[in-house]
Structure formats: C-alpha cells, structure tokens
Amino acid sequence: MTLHPAIRKDAVAVVTGGASGIGLAAARRFGSAGMTVLLADLDEARLDEAVADLGADGITATGFATDVSRRANIVALKEEADRLGPVGVLMNNAGREGGGGLLSGPEVWRDTLEVNLFGVIHGLQAFLPDILSADRPAAIVNTGSKQGITLPPGDTAYNVSKAALKALTESLAHDLLDTKGRVTAHLLIPGFTFTGFTRARGVTEKPAGAWTGDQVADFLLDGMAAGDFYILCPDNEVTRETDLKRMRWGMGDIIENRPALSRWHPDYAPAFRAYTERDG
C-alpha cells in the first residue's frame, strides 16, 4: 500500500479526539505503519482504553488528556509530542456537535466554536512553526463536515464552525505552497459515520447507511497518498456523485442569485428534485 511520505517509522502522529471513532481508527493506521502515536482526548477513561487497545496490537501509543479549546492544553500537548519525536502527522480531529440554531444561548455558540474552530487554530499555531522549520515530510489533517459545505438548516452553530474550518484549511493549504509539497494539508469530509456522536444520540448499533470509523480512516489514507486536499467520503446511503450534485447546487445559489439555501426552500423543491434526478 502506498502511503503519504509523512507516514513513516521515525515520526510521531498526533491525533486529537483520538480516543474513539474516526480519530482512533486513523491513529491505528498511523501506528500500524510504524509511527509513534500521541492520542489527545478529553475523556481520560476512554483515552486509557484506547492506548491499551493500540498497545495490544504492538503500536507505540501515549495518551494525553487535552481540552483543545484551551490553548495551554495544546501547548502542553506539543511539549509531550516533542518528547516523543518529530511530528509527521497532525490530525486536528476533536470536535463537538453544536446542538442549536441561531438563537441558542451564547454558551452553546462559544463552546462549539472554541472546540471546532479555535481548537484547530490552537493546534496549528502550536505545531506548525516546528513542522515548517524541519527538513522532513509532514501532513496536517483537519476533520471537517459536509454540513460545513451544504449548511442544512437546524444546527447552525455546528455548520458555522465547520464552514469556518473549511475556510481555515483552504487558507492553510495555500500558505503551504511555499513548502513545495513537503508539508501538505488535507480537509477530511466524512459522510454518515457511526461514531461517539451517533452513540450519544442513543443509537447503539451501526445504522445500515453509515460507514465505520475504519472505513473513513482507510479512505483518508488513500486520499493522503493520492495528494488529495478535499477528502470527501461517501457512505452507504449517499454516493460521491450525489454529494457533488448537492454542492454544485449550493454554489449555484450565488451564481444564479437564488435564495440562500434554496435546496431547502419550498419554492425551489421541484427544481432541486428535477436537478438531482438528471444524469451527469
């Protein structure tokens, strides 16, 4: 299997939100390739279980209790990473669901933005200077969301946080052009995935339409190896072709001066349905 050059035996993979779900699945793949894995997570009990689980598979893993919304925690995480070795992969994966619309309380908005957006900013500002100064391959993966692109009504705080993360990661990729491919950025865009978020809603068994964290992690490594920036995952319900049609329609709102989020506008429902049913 071809791997991104940053995934190498003499380097460290730092994965936030790494104690479960997509983060743990990705960490397992980095570790299986010989990397030392540093898992960061808020849930200390689950973090200990994840480290033990990886260790049972022969993976060198360390857990570090981290609240990514707190800059001091990320600085301490960076110090722990330095103790383990040079960082080859930084995966800013930790996130939380917003759980509210525009008029949700300020605490909902603050918590969502501080984790989903500022948690990544803290990670980049702490780790990127040394990654840039080192003469070795590296990769930065930020876990986004399709909701940050298509903006379905309902969870406005979450949508805004992931839309901002998309813009941040695109800007990061452009800034990294100066490294001439030595350091790459990747926006992971999962589809419907059975994770801790799903379980928190009371779903104890994987829905048929969902991918597993392992499937997303495999898709991530393939995308990184191919040099893809947008790593847009399908799932068992929605194909890539369907995702692209939905995203093209959303951009068409600007180009054709339609109402915002016209995909969900009752006056545009027949047109959107006809559009999605067309071939190509």
Give me the active site residues, please: 158
What token pair was written down for 146?
């399709």
Note whether 6 and 83 are within 8 A (CB): no
Q: How far is CA 103 from CA 107, 156, 174, 184, in A?
A: 11, 9, 34, 37
Note whether 221 and 4 are within 8 A (CB): yes
User: Locate tokens 């598979």: which residue?
Assistant: 57
